[in-house]
Amino acid sequence: MAPTKKGILERLNAGEIVIGDGGFVFALEKRGYVKAGPWTPEATKEHPEAVRQLHREFLRAGANVMQTFTFYASDDKLENRGNKLTYTGAQINEAACDLAREVANEGDALVAGGVSQTPSYLSCKSETDVKATFKKQLDVFVKKNVDFLIAEYFEHVEEAVWAVEALKETGKPVAATLCIGPQGDMHGVSPQECAVKLVKAGAQIVGINCHFDPETCVKTVKMMKEGVEKAGLKAHYMVQPLAFHTPDCNCQGFIDLPEFPFGLEPRILTRWDMHKYAREAYNAGIRYIGGCCGFEPYHIRAVAEELATERGFFPAATEKHGPWGSGLEMHTKPWVRARARRDYWESLKPSSGRPLCPSLSVPDGWGVTRGHAELMQQKEATSKDQLKQLFDRSKTQ
């Protein structure tokens, strides 16, 4: 029998660095396996080989958590706005667990089952209804015996607390991450207060994922840590940001940017930006460091390489990557060989190659959140009349 792996809390309690994986939704959308809009993970059944391969690439890059590809896999989201699938939520979630476990067993990785915010909450359904939606996913995670659970991508701390309470009933370790910035959640609850609420609800690991760039997310986790410590509580901290620069975002994050979701490529962080992110997160006391939308395996490799001294090893993918560009020593062109040094890449200010484009955008600011009629969800497809109203409104913003 293979030796028993240390659990997530054992690793964090021992001060180990845990590296998460990247953003499956965006990565698989670019590869042609996820549909932008619903962002649902039916690829676990339709194209399991694509999901498996991406898990393997993140494992090779240095990740030691394989997060199940179950983002937006609650039944109410799978059926939202005319989305019609061949497979049930249970089938999609079970396949996701099997794929993550298969690849995790190829290395020293754990499997994390994840739940995320629901259309039921946005449509003002009751706490009982929302928790029942989570429970359907949790039943699969318990059946498949994932190693720990993550409640991720919550804009409202109230719903995140409900998720944590539901997850705690399984008896497994629970992490909780909000997709908020320094301004707090969508109802104005500060990061400090959000973190306290999550810890009191039972989360052992708290932090931020998605919606903002690494700099903003690390700053927000610092605020959460401050709040938890001031309240006399204890927790571990995690961060899984975007791989896009978002200095111009408001409280809603990158989904308010006019480039979302199909024009974000000019904002992508370089691998060298990821070195800086990993170091700043580590110095802030964050020990679970991963990525979300926009993160590709080479980004995670950069995180793992930056923290190789602290971890005691390089990831397998370093085999094909000279640290700080040292592989360029083998290049045929002398001016490219001259770039085989750390100070060159650390000081580089990349150009976009787009001379007529601005460096910053003006985000949308509709101010719509839970409780507003425009955010009520429906099973039926969005009608032409509903779209016309949105198109007309967008012209006046």
CA dist., res. 140 & res. 52, Å (int):
19
Which tokens go with 111?
Answer: 């499997």
CB atoms within 10 A of CB 283: 9
Name the nearest CA neighbour of 273 among 292, 252, 298, 254: 298
Binding-site sequence positions: 210, 292-293
C-alpha separations of 93 from 32, 45, 48, 96, 107 in Å = 20, 9, 12, 5, 22
CB 36 within 8 Å of CB 306? no
Classify 155 as helix, strand or coil: coil
Phi, psi (degrees; rounded to nearest 5) at 342:
-65, -45
Q: Which amino acid is at 186?
A: M
C-alpha separations of 33 from 20, 84, 87, 92 in Å = 22, 16, 15, 14
CB 275 within 8 Å of CB 301? no
With both helix axes pointing from N to C terminus, report the angle between 297-306 and 271-283 in degrees, rounded to the nearest 10: 50
* Nearest-5° Cα angle at 112, 314 to 35: 95
CB 154 within 8 Å of CB 163? yes
CA dist., res. 25 & res. 35, Å (int):
9
Burial of 60 (0-12, 13-18, 19+ CB in 10 A): buried
Binding-site sequence positions for Zn(2+): 210, 292-293
CA dist., res. 101 & res. 109, Å (int):
9
CA dist., res. 210 & res. 338, Å (int):
36
Burial of 218 (0-12, 13-18, 19+ CB in 10 A): buried
